[in-house]
Chain A
Amino acid sequence: MEEKNTSFFAKLWHSVSDFFSKRVWQGFCVNILYKKFDRYKGWIYLAPAIVLLMIFTVWPIFNTIRMSLLEGYTSMKAVRGVEFEFGIGNFTRVLKYKGFINCLKNTVLLTVLTVPISTFLALLIAVCLNSIKWFSRALQTIFFLPYVTNSIAIGMVFAAMFNMILGGGARPDFVGVVNIVIEAFGGEYINWMNAGSEYWANIFVMTVYIVWNALPFKILILLGGLQSVNKQYYEAAKVDATPRRRVFTRITIPLLSPMLAYVIITGFIGGFKEYSSIVGVFGDSMGPAGNHYALDTMVGFIYRAIGNQEGTASAAALILFAIILVVTMVNLYVSKKKTHY
């Protein structure tokens, strides 16, 4: 450093620092000018983010907790100047309500169904994409395309594919593509999502759509993971003449496990927030004609309650938050035990 500094000021500094070369003095300087600043530097860099988060994220959270604990709170009543009782009435009210229990059931069921299926399919597609020679790039592009679409718009397309128009007679006027395929294989039409359809048929449709919707992101992550896996492991397997299945279960899966964990955890979080895909397929009714809200979810419930019952909506949102927190913790715990880094 000293050789480089040739300017007058550098020389001056050199002599000055020589003069104050005692350890104590130096230590003091470093402490004041360097370490003190360094201790708070992180906060300075974070300041813009923290300020904005305080206003637009943290304060709403406080406000949500506040509203959830004011029994029967609605903002309209608050404007009028009504005083609300403080208590857990909103929580007990929500938990006793049949509609909410139904939402909870649907959300859990759809999550438990779709996360494993979509993860498995994504893994399969990613592995296939990783082991083909031609058209690999074109196929990748196709599989990622849904990433840039609106889930409500595409949901309408799925609705059209499963749809059935019940006419004036025993045979429907119109059946969607799916039923046409079923018929081609000698099966009977299934009423997937129209008036009088069964709950399990509805759930099936939603499972298909949600899985479809979740694929691009998962393929993206898993394929990225596969491509960054060190080729040496496979070379070693080749030398050892390890069977293909064993290579998959003993090398590919363990090496992919961080990505798999990531995909599964985000999948669970997304699953518990499921809403717009159901609106896309079933419309605002969140269920087949004549059985509205049969497929309502937690977020759907919260979303509707926001309009007229902020207290209840807040309570429901906090319950959802608690559930997601617990599930994520369990996920993290499991993945910590199973994940290979």
Chain B
Amino acid sequence: MKATNKATASSSPKVMRERDMEKVSKAQKAVKIGVQVALYLFLGIMALIVLFPFYWMLVSSVKTMPEYSQSIPTIIPHEWDFQNYVEVFQNEDLLLGQLFANTLFVGVVSTVISLVITVLSAFAFARLEFKGKNLLFAALLATMMIPGELFTITNFQTVHTFGWMNTFTVLIVPFLVSVFYIYLLKQNFQQVPNELYLAAKVDGTTDLKYLWKVMIPLALPTLISITILKMMGSWNSYMWPRLVANDEAHRLITNGLRTAFTSADGVTDVPLQMAAVAVVSAPLFLVFVFLRKYIMKGVSRSGIKG
């Protein structure tokens, strides 16, 4: 935008008289400032719209239950009640520490294994030539279009047959392979010039070494973004864990949040829940704020040959 402003300012200098040019450049300057102001105004308003829900979550978390259950929501709480936050950590139904530990364990293990599988698959698709490669890749992409809800019933029967109920295995294994991540990484790998691979071959470097030394460092932003997405996935997963591993030893954070504050007749203590959600979301937000760059790089690179 800046560049184009300058471009217009310097248009046809020879034809214009000096006074006119001065006028034009002054006007141009005014327009430029105006444009900048408009840009900031627009972005500012949009930013406020984007931020409002987060404000709401925080505000709800400091409301008392009676205030919350009013059918008229209060924009600013009448009473600031930080007790909810204390309660979150003391709640015996919630066992926040255990939930954090379970979720972290499932998140880390499934991310690591998933990364290995994804890297190997993406490498095969990006670099190796074998019969049926394109057909296989197309078939994988096609599975992405199927609504995921459909898999649930059959998968439940499957894991039950395997005897995986109420284990960490059942939370990790069914979601290790994501076609989307393979696709992301394949696109990324393909941007690495093939000559590098051939040169490595000539040097006698093994595939795995080449992967480790060349491909992975080059694709690091994508790998980091996959890691973050995968961690977010286990942080937010709800339906499947509820079905297959809802005992105390294996319960994950979202399920813990959903069940902990509900009384016998199904009334939920929402402010307490919101406080818990805020506490639980905090790590995610921090990771996001600090690693935003990697997410951007990873995702936008993948888009180039979409």
Q: Does chain A touch chain B in the assembled complex, meaning CB atoms less than 8 Å apart?
A: yes
Chain A contacts to B: CB under 8 angstroms: 38-43, 45-46, 48-49, 52-53, 55-61, 63-64, 75, 124-125, 127-133, 135, 139-150, 153-154, 157-158, 160-161, 163, 165, 173-174, 177, 212, 215, 217, 220-221, 223-225, 227-228, 234-235, 237-244, 247, 258-259, 261-263, 265, 269, 273, 298-299, 302-303, 306, 310, 313-314, 317, 320-321, 324-325, 328, 341
* B130 pairs with A263, CB closer than 8 A: no
Chain B contacts to A: CB under 8 angstroms: 1-8, 10-12, 36, 39-40, 42-43, 46-47, 49-54, 56-57, 71-73, 75, 116-118, 120-121, 123-125, 128-131, 133, 136, 140, 142-147, 149-155, 158, 173-177, 179, 182, 207, 232, 236, 277, 281, 284-285, 288-289, 292, 295-297, 299-301, 303-306
* A259 pairs with B303, CB closer than 8 A: yes
A165 with B72: in contact, given A145-B288, A258-B303 (CB under 8 Å)? yes
20 A-B pairs besides A42-B130, A56-B174, A228-B300 with CB distance below 8 A are: A42-B128, A46-B136, A48-B177, A49-B121, A53-B177, A56-B158, A60-B150, A61-B143, A64-B150, A141-B292, A148-B288, A157-B56, A173-B71, A221-B303, A224-B296, A224-B301, A239-B7, A241-B10, A244-B8, A269-B144
Contact partner of A238 (CB less than 8 A), chosen from B7, B12, B303, is: B7
Interchain CA distance A48-B178 in the complex, whole Å: 12
Can you list 19 pairs linking A and B with CB atoms under 8 Å apart?
Answer: A41-B207, A48-B117, A56-B151, A56-B175, A56-B177, A57-B151, A57-B177, A60-B153, A132-B36, A141-B292, A143-B50, A148-B285, A223-B296, A262-B306, A269-B144, A298-B147, A302-B150, A321-B146, A325-B142
* B300 pairs with A223, CB closer than 8 A: yes
Contact partner of A244 (CB less than 8 A), chosen from B5, B57, B120, B300, is: B5
Among residues of A, the one whose C-beta sits closest to the C-beta of B38 is: A128
Contacts of B152 in A (CB 8 A): 306
* A158 pairs with B53, CB closer than 8 A: yes
Interchain CA distance A83-B63 in the complex, whole Å: 56
Contact partner of B49 (CB less than 8 A), chosen from A39, A56, A61, A212, is: A212
* A46 pairs with B292, CB closer than 8 A: no
A-B interface, 6 closest residue pairs, ranked by CB to CB distance from nearest: A224-B300, A262-B306, A131-B1, A42-B130, A45-B124, A238-B7
Output the residue of B43, B52, B179, B301 with the most chain A CB within 10 A.
Answer: B43
Interchain CA distance A174-B71 in the complex, whole Å: 8
Contacts of A131 in B (CB 8 A): 1-2, 39
Among residues of B, the one whose C-beta sits closest to the C-beta of A136 is: B43
Chain B nearest CB: distance from A283 CB in Å? 13
* B50 pairs with A306, CB closer than 8 A: no
* B304 pairs with A43, CB closer than 8 A: no
* B72 pairs with A46, CB closer than 8 A: no
* A128 pairs with B3, CB closer than 8 A: no
Among residues of A, the one whose C-beta sits closest to the C-beta of B305 is: A258
* B145 pairs with A325, CB closer than 8 A: yes
Chain A nearest CB: distance from B188 CB in Å? 13
Contacts of B281 in A (CB 8 A): 148-149
